[in-house]
Structure 1
């Protein structure tokens, strides 16, 4: 951990924070989930660097130490894709492996669609690629108390988080999203209040850590899903993956299910996850 270096790189008028460790021609970029930062990939960065890879983990715009977008109301995944391309250009990197989870999986897949020539392979956790013509319509089946539905309204997440100190917010997030059930708040309840103050952290969580027309991803992809990840309970999600329909959009797809894996599998079982990522990367270098 002490060997991880930190730098700020100007990208599209913003200063983005980037953590980096390792050297060499084979580069891996880690893309964090919501509401995480580069730190969630610390175990994987050290392991990949030890295996001879140069590893980078940026904080997305508006996350961690990176500048927020100048006009948040106009922010989109398109910004993150452009940020990644500009970041690679600034560092003189032509081609990379992308490793992403949760929220970060969307720009990872989209970047591989738009810039296939720059992507050697993709590893994702928690979410498969899905064509916009076959979206996951969770909003139609889950109540308003689902955290994505609630927090998409401007100001709601800020108000929910703002009542608590940062350590409590992080603690609650780890507890909420480590469960196998979808977190749903009652009508007059905030998302953060679903977690009782006496609820312990998961045993593995350390307190101190706290226009496209072709939507086929043509690069090699590894999808890792935890059997206890609540995302599998999104309507249609598990069937979409297990039936193999996901391969209609990702022909070169490998799928690994982890029996005890939760939504934070890369922190919960770092050694196992590191082996999976390394095994995939070594196939394509």
Structure 2
């Protein structure tokens, strides 16, 4: 058991406050902890995540003198659904992030993005450079222009390809309750190999009902996720990221993110096995776009580093924040 299952952690979780901000016609949920006068860190989740994914990091950065804010993206968690989820794009999430900061009167932040949160974090920095002091991404690098159309071709039967097809994931997920879907996704995404379905198989069929949850993910955690996905459903989540992947990386011509960035990857993260991605990171090609990036690998780390190895991630995050906090001096 890691130390966060202690009574102290329960008390700290109680100190996370929840508010709703009205931005771009929607009521979006924001979890936060820390003093309003402190330098701000905004945490951007991926799928199947929500604000709760960042519970360990939020508490750690608040204890270290920062203010942590973690929104649920539109259509996720406690945030409102857009009127037409099937029209949502990454641009909406980028604009929402800027609007959330404006509505909270926050002028400059450190941005931490996990999974597709990285696909929001970097374009956000390119479009609003004055708002960003530094970036940490976990589990995904900066995505080059046309990333998933020319650069990284996803194998047939791999879950993003399957979920891109309107109706297919809906039919697959619809055979199970929400809790089982979230459970299966956590089990699938914590593997170190690409999970590929056969032609006559769906993604949910890749997980046997008897497969246990990862050791670092409790039944209580699963309940927390399931409750939020029961509320939000998967409509927006299937649209962004999966059905808008062809648009990824096309926001800016000749993009270059000049702020300090760190990318944290688990050595056992299946993302490194997606054709082209491991090589793109290891060869240094990614530095064409993020010249000031440091890449850190966590041994035995899977795609869920913030929850699998919270102490290690907290240590790396705090080292980065403390080294660069002069960049947000008011």
Query: What TM bracket, shorter-length normalisation?
Result: over 0.9
**Match for residue 191 of structure 1?**
203
1:12 paired with 2:24, answer yes
Within 2, Cα distance between the matches of 1:124 and 1:184? 25
How far 1:138 moved relative to its partner? 7.3
Verify: 1:179 aligned to 2:219, yes or no.
no
| Alignment length (residue pairs) | 284
Per the normalisation by structure 2, the TM-score is: 0.83
Q: Deviations over 1:120-175 (max 9, x none)?
A: 000001111032056575774511x2111111122222222222122211211111
**Do the aligned partners of residues 142 and 256 (structure 1) sit closer, same or farther apart at CA in structure 2, a change above 3 Å counting?**
same
Decide which moves more: 164-173 or 116-125: 164-173
Alignment match, 2:127: 114
Shift of 1:98: 0.5
CA distance in 2, matches of 1:8, 1:206: 28
Alignment partner of 1:158 is 2:177 = no
The answer to whether 1:74 aligns with 2:114 is no
Contact residue 153 and residue 275 of structure 2 kept, 8 A: no
Instruction: Give the structure with the larger helix fraction.
Output: 2
CA deviation string 1:20-42 (max 9, x = no partner)? 11113300000001121111110
Cα 1:257–1:194 shift into 2, 3 Å: same
Query: After the TM superposition, which residues 39-188 of structure 1 pair with which residues of structure 2 at under 5 Å, given as runs?
Result: 39-132=52-145, 137=150, 140=153, 142-143=155-156, 145-188=157-200
Report if aligned partners of 1:100, 1:123 keep a CA contact under 8 Å in 2. yes
TM-score by length of 1: 0.96
CA RMSD in angstroms comes to 1.5
- Decide whether aligned partners of structure 1 residues 255 and 272 sit closer, same or farther in structure 2, where only a CA change above 3 A counts: same
Q: How far apart are 1:10 and its partner, in Å?
A: 0.7
**Unmatched 5+ stretches in structure 2:** 1-12, 223-250, 326-330
1:266 aligns with 2:306: yes
Change in Cα spacing, 1:140 to 1:54, as seen in structure 2 (3 Å) is closer
